[in-house]
Amino acid sequence: MGHDTVMAKVLFFGASSEASSSPNDADGEGSKFNLDQEYLYQDELMSPPIAGKENTASNNQSGASSTQATTNEQWALIEFEKPVTCQRNCLVIGSKLDTDIHSNTCRLAFHGELLHAVTDKTYNETLLPNLKIFKTKSREGVVERATDNYSVIGRSLFKKETNIQTFVGLKVRLSSGEEGVIEGGFGQSGKFKIRISSGLKEETFKQLSEKGKKGKKAAASASGEVEGASTDAPSGSRQSIKIFLDFKRYIFDSKKQMIQT
């Protein structure tokens, strides 16, 4: 059939560890491309795996999610500037054509086998929304206080203008180990309420209660109600309890929905 050289955009993605550990792997089926499977977005071409050593992608900086990708399984979505005539399973070679031809550098970037050819001109609307490539997202906030053994008030997770209603029902976890669900906003400053269905641990509730008392004492001191009281936290005070909101988002989802498992 010959060959053709065409400029193109490339997007890399790989199978998450959840997909890689499927029962099909034993038969070598786990590495086959499947439109029904979820894939983790990768912002670069991974190095070839070292023999006898399994490499893992480091895209998930926060470490909040266990869906890491394996570099042994990497695919590329290639969008050509113009249609290309090719046959199934043909060889595809990616080159860095902007590399100086006089430099002592190989311009070949990657190569692979064509697995799925797209002929639909409206693939942006028909195919891409069905391609489940996701990015992991993580937000971090702080517990301000506990209202009771099953509810806490959080802050610093959202901006003041954020519509917290879109986050209602999403699961969060505390650095102290408890898990909860966002119930809604609290006031007008971006604070929110979290419901801890299993209840706060005794030590967590005690820490938040002590923090609340110290906050009131500091406020009283600032207003002149308590003589000689210091607003500085004691050197041995405990660190604040953090709130983590982890989710994933499909990059071709026009609705930008937040997905949790």
pLDDT tens-place string over residues 179-222: 999 999 998 889 999 999 999 999 999 999 876 565 555 554 55
Mean pLDDT of the chain: 81
pLDDT higher at 245 or 26 = 245
Is the entire prediction scored with pTM above 0.75?
no
Q: In this prediction, what percent of the chain has a pLDDT beyond 70?
A: 73
Helix (H, G, I), strand (E, B) or coil at 261: coil
Asked if 43 and 58 count as a contact pair (C-beta separation under 8 A), the reply is no
**How much is the average pLDDT of 222-226?**
49
% of the chain at pLDDT higher than 90 = 53
Provide the total of helices (H) and of strands (E) in the chain, helices listed first: 3, 11
Q: How confident is the model at residue 33 (pLDDT cuts 50, 70, 90)?
A: confident
CA distance 41 to 74: 10
30 pLDDT higher than 80? no
Beta-ladder partners of 9 = 79
Region 227-246 average pLDDT? 65
Q: Say how many Å lie between the first and final Cα of the chain, rounded.
A: 46
Let me know: does 165 contact 140? Beta carbons within 8 Å.
no
30 contacts: CB under 8 Å, gap ≥ 6 = 15, 19, 20, 22, 24, 73
DSSP secondary structure string for all residues of 143-212: EEEEEETTEEEEESSS-TTS-GGGGTT-EEEETTS-EEEEEEEETTTTEEEEE-TT---HHHHHHHHHHH
- The residue-averaged pLDDT of 110-119 equals 91
> Which tens digits make up the pLDDT trace of 243-256?
999 999 999 999 99
Rounded Cα gap, residues 255 and 154, in angstroms? 26
> Which of the two residues, 17 and 91, has the higher pLDDT score?
91
